[in-house]
Amino acid sequence: MGNMMTTRMVLFLWVLANATGLVSAAEQETLVAQGKYVFRASACESCHTDVENNGAFLAGGRAMETDFGTFYTPNITPDLDTGIGRWTLEDFRQAMMTGTRPDGSPYYPIFPYRWYTGMLPEDIAALWAYLQSIEPIKNNVPPHDLKFPFTFRWLNWIWRLINFKPGKRIFDEQRPAQWNRGAYLVNHLGHCGACHTPKTFGNFIGIEFLGGSRKIPGVLPAPNITPSQKAGIGIWSQQDIVRALKRAIGPDGTPIRGPMAEYVLFGSSYLTDEDLNAMAIYLRSLPIKEQTVETVEEEIQEMLGHGD
């Protein structure tokens, strides 16, 4: 509750400052630049731009195939009719921190609000400022094509009872600032657990946190990224992790494929070395999980387009 109240107060003061002209052009430019960095750390482009079909920047429409059906990512440009141009900052805060739409209905958890809910209020305000600065694109995104009974949006309220605590932020006051910065980047901005944690009911942060998952959109699974020597990245050094996040290359020189390569391309490759090292320090400190996520060669060939 405290985090939510603090966020509302900071955002209120930001709106008030803008409305009364207390924010100078230079300060607004700085805020937009900060928001662009938050945007990169969150890798928003990888989902909200339909790159495969030459979609416009952040205009949505990317198809996400899942066991529940096909989700289509929304247009988050400031277009008034098909984007978020009619939203207020409070609408945006509500989406990111409470996982609800402007009309109060719940989002499907393919939108990783489960992780964004821990964002700092100043980062939400900055991200909003950046999104308002980009070119509005008119693009009508198709409705989700879901299997029965997942077409009933109200079912998300049941999922939320077990899996979602609004405003929860991973922070340990006993840990150094660099560790907490890494925890923030991995858990909230980078929302790594959205892919790398098994998608079992009630286990979006649970006993197998970051232990890997096959249940993600696309062909390749998300591997175990805990410090397990056998199943995870325990043999990776801190610099190995930093290089993977910056260049999408594993310790042995093998390119990293699939959604992780997208995250690097659109997200982590833009981060500072300081932030990348903070992420590596945090990941290397996590409890070891021995779950192995296998990737069969046929899936790799299919992903690369080498199938028969």
Kindly state whether residues 192 and 283 are assigned to the same domain.
yes
Write out the two tokens for 17. Answer: 């400052």
Q: Could you please report the per-residue DSSP string of 107-124? A: PPTTS-HHHHTT--HHHH
Count: domains in the chain:
2
d(CA 171, CA 209): 16
Q: Could you please report the per-residue DSSP string of 193-253? A: HHHHS---TT-SSSTTTTS-BS-SSSSSPBPP-SS-TTTSSTT--HHHHHHHHHH-B-TTS
Kindly state whether residues 7 and 130 are assigned to the same domain.
yes
Domain of residue 19, residue span? 2-163
Kindly state whether residues 60 and 101 are assigned to the same domain.
yes
Kindly state whether residues 232 and 98 are assigned to the same domain.
no
Q: Which residues pair with 63 in a beta bridge?
A: 72
CB 139 within 8 A of CB 56: yes
- Decide if 294 is inside a domain: yes
- Decide if 28 is inside a domain: yes
* DSSP summary character for residue 49: B
Kindly state whether residues 32 and 107 are assigned to the same domain.
yes
| pLDDT tens for the chain, residues 1 to 308 | 555 555 445 454 555 455 445 567 788 889 999 999 999 999 999 999 999 999 999 999 999 888 889 999 999 999 999 999 999 999 999 999 999 999 999 999 999 999 999 999 999 999 999 999 999 999 999 999 999 999 999 999 998 998 888 888 999 999 999 999 999 999 999 998 888 877 665 444 456 788 777 766 666 777 888 888 888 888 999 999 999 999 999 999 989 888 888 999 999 999 999 999 999 999 999 988 877 776 544 444 454 454 44
| Residue 300: per-residue pLDDT | 47
Kindly state whether residues 97 and 130 are assigned to the same domain.
yes
Q: Which distant-in-sequence residues (6+ apart) come within 8 Å of 274 by Cβ?
A: none
| Residue 259: per-residue pLDDT | 84
Kindly state whether residues 226 and 253 are assigned to the same domain.
yes
Q: Identify the domain boundary among 163, 187, 213.
A: 163
| Residue 235: per-residue pLDDT | 92
- Decide if 202 is inside a domain: yes
